[in-house]
Structure 1
């Protein structure tokens, strides 16, 4: 057990950057999920029940050709929002396969491809984080949970999963499987191809890649912004530790949106009920849980399963608060159940 003064490490730039980025990405994922639900309502292109594949593991190796698509899914809605706010025009440049293709989309496509190519060549941690954030936001906004019942089951199962592989996997497999998987790097296919073809500039291409399944921040953050080295010591947080709580945040944010519409349309609704939003408690719980996980890692000098702290501190306040407000049944069955103007959800 380390002395308590070492908790001052939480005030280092790397720790503050990790906490701020994770909280911002999780909240942004929930906001994007709400916006995506509104878009589906307006366009009438969503189905009430749509079965998707199993939730991908945060440790699955991503396909390199899909990384640009995830980044594009992040940047296109952002640019559309900016255009709508500023009243900018975006002329069509072509129509391909009966789909409109605008100038902004073309520029963003080139930008996304450039980001992926730069990451494949340099392996820089900043580009890795950009891709990871894009994957997280795209995942949360498109794969959504229908109610708190399914969400609780998923969070509890992943809670047990995370605790087992971090604390008990060494007893069965002789090593900490979660830490081994999280810290190992993948071979760079670009370097492999360039080496086999004896192409020039081989020394400029990194041999190993940090896959964008986690956020990484060098502990010596200031010196590492413009450089990237295999010998750097990193702080890291898996995408699952943002995406899974982000799905809960998306659920309660949609519930808050529905309740605010009901309050706005109700004649006898009190104005004080407008400010009672579950999302504030969920985001605060996520931030406290993340700080607790980092603090526990510093004091014990051992890896910690982040979901051990994130699940109770995000799910707990939401369930307790909804129970005190007599809204647990409604949240348990799903936002908008039995309502004609409900937000459409994807059943996982």
Structure 2
């Protein structure tokens, strides 16, 4: 990280010293501009397609106004946006804000050796449609659509940029790139959403809030657990060895042994009668009964 920081500071300082050098300083400016745009696209995220549409439409009007309308409002008749991008024409140093990507034009004219022309692309023309492209990429991941939104919006951005440069060559004047980029990207994204029947989720961003439904019930156990309440009738308790191991209730233990045997022989509907003969054939051993007034 220390070496990377030193390298970044060195590139910035070198560009600051040779920023007006038209032969090679544009490379450093483009490197710094691309890094800035990537950082902004990584940091800023629009939550819905509705927010993307509103932002792009507002900046669409802004860009068109400052390129095509402001020449009628200024004394020099120049566009304010073009003056900011290219620098003031009456200045000897032609200082300009480093908010554009500069690419030298491919021109075979000998005059280009003295006054090299550049094609300029503002950072806003990259960041504003780029926010929509980033939103399409996140929506693709959420709905698992094989990046169809991202690829379609990226191709639309490339076509819009190509139309911008064609208009620049034909009109020989500065063009608001958002005039061509915004319709291309917005219309393409809406078309893909309509084709996939996901316009509602794409518009509101509801695809980012998919919750897995949680069931409030639990499956029944495979075998019922034996009751633990000693007050239940013995006819409802499990028979066999478990019954033999259970202690008799206190009121039954207080009865004489002979009375218990007689009751079990005479009354077949009593609780003791239903438990005196286990179903699995195990013999139940009678417990010792303590007579009143005697010692065990």
Q: TM-score range by the shorter chain?
A: 0.5 to 0.7
Note if contact 1:120-1:209 (Cα within 8 Å) is conserved in structure 2. no
User: Given the two structures, how large is their TM-score scaled by the length of structure 2?
Assistant: 0.62
The structure with more helix, counted as a fraction of residues: 1
C-alpha RMSD over aligned residues: 2.5
* 3-state SS of 1:304 partner: coil
- Counterpart in the other structure of 2:84: 181
Unaligned regions of 5+ residues in structure 1, if any? 1-104, 186-206, 223-228, 261-273, 342-348
Structure 1 Cα separation of the partners of residues 182 and 72 of structure 2: 24
1:225-236 aligned at under 5 Å gives the runs 231-236=115-120
Could you say which residue in structure 1 is the equivalent of 2:66?
165
1:108 equivalent in structure 2: 4
Match of 2:166 in 1: 295
The count of residues paired between Structure 1 and Structure 2 equals 199
- TM-score relative to the length of structure 1: 0.53
Query: Tell me, which stretches of 5 or more residues in structure 2 are unaligned?
Result: 20-24, 213-296
Q: Which residue of 2 aligns with 1:251?
A: 135
Q: Displacement of 1:121 after TM fit?
A: 1.1
Larger RCO (CA within 8 A; separation ≥ 6): 1
Distance change in 2, residues 1:129/1:210 (3 Å): farther
**Pair member with larger Rg:** 2
Cα deviation, 1:14-60, whole Å, max 9, x if unaligned, reads xxxxxxxxxxxxxxxxxxxxxxxxxxxxxxxxxxxxxxxxxxxxxxx
State the shift of 1:208 in Å: 6.0
CA–CA separation in structure 2 for the residues paired with 1:318 and 1:278? 7
Matched, 1:238 2:122: yes
Instruction: Return structure 1 stretches of 4+ with deviation > 4 angstroms.
Output: 207-210
Name the counterpart of 2:105: 219
Distance 1:108 1:325, change over 3 A: same
Q: How far does residue 300 in structure 1 lie from its aligned partner after superposition?
A: 1.4
Q: Evaluate the alpha carbon distance shift between residue 239 and residue 276 of structure 1 in structure 2; reply closer, same or farther with a 3 A threshold.
A: closer
User: Does 2:157 align with 1:286?
Assistant: yes
Q: Distance in 2 between matches of 1:230 and 1:151?
A: 43
Superposed, which structure 2 residues align to 1:1-348 within 5 Å? 105-123=1-19, 124-174=25-75, 175-184=78-87, 210-219=96-105, 231-260=115-144, 274-275=145-146, 277-334=148-205, 336-340=207-211
CA spacing shift, 1:302–1:311, aligned 2, 3 Å: same
